Amino acid sequence: MLEALGLGLQGFLESMGFGVITIGQIIMLLVSFVLLYLAIVKQFEPLLLLPIGFGMLLANLPLAGLMAEPEGVFGQPGFQAGGLLYYLYMGVKLGIYPPLIFMGVGAMTDFGPLIANPRSILLGAAAQFGIFAVFIGAILLGFSGPEASSIGIIGGADGPTAIYLTSKLAPHLLGPIAVAAYSYMALVPIIQPPIMRALTTKEERMTVMDQLRPVSKTEKVIFPILVTVLVSLILPSAAPLVGMLMLGNLLKESGVTERLAKTAENELMNIVTIFLGVTVGATANAETFLRPQTLMIIALGLAAFSFGTAAGVVLGKIMYKTSGGKVNPLIGSAGVSAVPMAARVSQVVGQKENPANFLLMHAMGPNVAGVIGSAVAAGLLLSIFGG
Amino acid sequence: MITDAMTLGEKFINSIGLTILGMAIVFVVLIILSYALDLLRIIGTDKKKPTSSEEVEQPTNSASAAEVPQEDDGEIIAVITAAIASLSGSSIENFIVKSIKPVPQKNNIWSITGRTERMLNRL
């Protein structure tokens, strides 16, 4: 009897994860705890970092097989279904989730400030310089073209775009890139202000801008249709992201599909965010994550953010000069997408110099232009390296 | 483009070329958009209705400042009225919005400080 008990206990002990967990998995679990800490205690983009951290936790539990691939052929004897997260991950792998999130973003975004001041869209283009500057850096560090593109896109400061491009070009880097992109987005208020102050004079920072003209409803309705047609014709590979972004926006602005707009920006987006976060986190396993490359990606991501911010501010300065001091260069930094965090940073830095200055709405123009700009940059990189 | 067979120098040159091309395309796309938006402004602006002399009919007992509708800005009037009601804690029946004028913001340092703090808190 005692023997049977012993054997049973032994069998149970062997089925436990403790016996087979590897050092790599233990470290990955610790990394996931750190992410969960950052999400819950520090509130760094908790809506994404929490699912990412937990996905990482789930995928690194030995024997649980949540990311296991299916074995055999469906319907045939011997078929073994894959893990839960393996199937949910298809939405990332096939590029389904990020455009759906973009639809929700579109339904939440007011492009009014951009329509009112069309030149501010250029600041959204300049801030994409970070993507390409870091692309060069990553190539020099020995990354391949597709990998370097995926790392550079962190500088677009746009999570869904980064995940979309990486899932197509370098899926093995998805974990580190997603973590870097979302962490830096949370750190925008810390990263940007020193760069903004270093590049501008006090006088420039105090510039008060003219109030934006009111934008008619007709313009707001035509805008998403116009952008979709133009951008998709010029750069078809950007169509999934830009098209869905503008669909969401049209749902909102048309005024006749309020129910759909609400679903796109709330329920649907929340559901997709959970799937996206958990499965992106689950791609991070010890073999791909615990490499010197991950540290390089994190360093390059920071550089991408900084270069993007600097380029935006520099173009802002040029516009300040050419407009005869009507444009505050601080709104340039908002050209890195990170809506609306980057615009708020412009507002706060500007207000420190001139408490009566309200730059928020002016900064929203480049800010939403940055979303379009990084989607265009992603489409471009995809058309070059995706072939 | 960029292949493993290249030397570091070749990769560097090519990636700079790609950067220039990339930034140029991003700029071109957004510049086209920017000018398309100018066009949009011409075709899309609503025809301004002549200034309506819509009298805001409201009961007596005035308390706060605010509004003569220069344009047909019913929405803005409603928002400002509601904001006054919410800030002063009184019902909208208790005051009349007579005129709304933009006040130079430098005057009220306290409200600016309050707003600044609120912005900072949100970051």
pLDDT tens, residue by residue, A112-156: 999 999 999 999 999 999 999 999 999 999 999 999 999 999 998
pLDDT average, residue stretch A4-27: 85
Instruction: Specify whether B67 is located in the same domain as B110.
Output: yes
| A317, pLDDT greater than 70 | yes
Total number of domains constituting chain B: 2
3-state helix, strand, coil in chain A (%, to 5): 75, 0, 25
- Give the model's pLDDT for residue B63: 45
B107 plus B87 within the same structural domain: yes
Confidence tier at B41 by pLDDT (50, 70, 90): confident
Q: Which residue of B has its CA nearest to A120?
A: B34
If 0-12 CB within 10 Å is exposed, 13-18 middle and 19+ buried, where does residue A157 land? buried
Cβ contact, residue pair A348, B119, below 8 Å? yes
Looking at the complex, does the CB of residue B16 fall below 8 Å from at least one CB of chain A?
yes
Claim to verify: residue B81 and residue B123 sit in the same structural domain: yes
The range of the structural domain enclosing residue B25 comes to: 1-45
Q: By three-state DSSP, how is residue A143 classified?
A: coil
> pLDDT-derived band of residue B54, with 50, 70 and 90 as boundaries?
very low
Residues B26 and B85 placed together within one structural domain of the fold: no
Higher pLDDT, A227 or A65: A227
B16: Cα separation from own chain's centroid = 38
B95 and B35 in a common domain: no
**Cβ–Cβ gap B119/A341 under 8 Å:** no
Check if the interface score ipTM surpasses 0.90: no
Q: Angle formed by the axes of helices A159-169 and A267-282, to 10°?
A: 50
Burial environment of residue A251 by CB neighbours within 10 A (0 to 12, 13 to 18, 19 or more) = buried
Radius of gyration of chain A (CA): 23
Residues B123, B80 share a domain: yes
Residue B35 at interface with chain A, using a CB cutoff of 8 Å:
yes
B32 and A132: CB-CB below 8 Å? Answer: no
Check CB contact of B6 with chain A, cutoff 8 Å: no
Query: What confidence score (pLDDT) does residue A14 get?
Result: 80
Look at residue A347 in the predicted model and tell me its pLDDT.
Answer: 92
pLDDT on residue B123: 57
pLDDT given at position A94: 93
Contact status, residue A251 vs residue A266, Cβ threshold 8 Å: no
Burial of A359 (0-12, 13-18, 19+ CB in 10 A): buried
Per-residue confidence band for B107, with pLDDT thresholds at 50, 70 and 90: low
Same domain, B113 and B71: yes
In Å, what is the CA distance from A257 to each residue of A107, A108, A109, A250, A254? 11, 14, 15, 9, 7
Same domain for B29 and B68, yes or no, is: no
| B39 shares its domain with B57 | no
B13 in A contact zone (CB under 8 Å): no
B56 plus B116 within the same structural domain: yes
Cβ separation of B27 and A345 shorter than 8 Å?
no
| Best mutation target, A185, A384, A385, to test chain B (most B CBs within 10 A) | A384
pLDDT in tens, A176-230: 999 999 888 888 999 999 999 999 999 999 999 988 888 889 999 999 999 999 9
List the single residue in B26, B46, B112 with the smallest CB-CB distance to A128: B26
Classify A338 in phi/psi space as left (phi over 0), alpha (psi -120 to 50) or beta: left
Q: Are residues B22 and B3 in the same domain?
A: yes
B99 pLDDT band (50/70/90 cuts)? confident
Alpha carbons A246 and A380: distance in angstroms, whole number: 18
The whole-angstrom separation of Cα A286 and Cα A27 is: 8
Same domain? B30 vs B88:
no
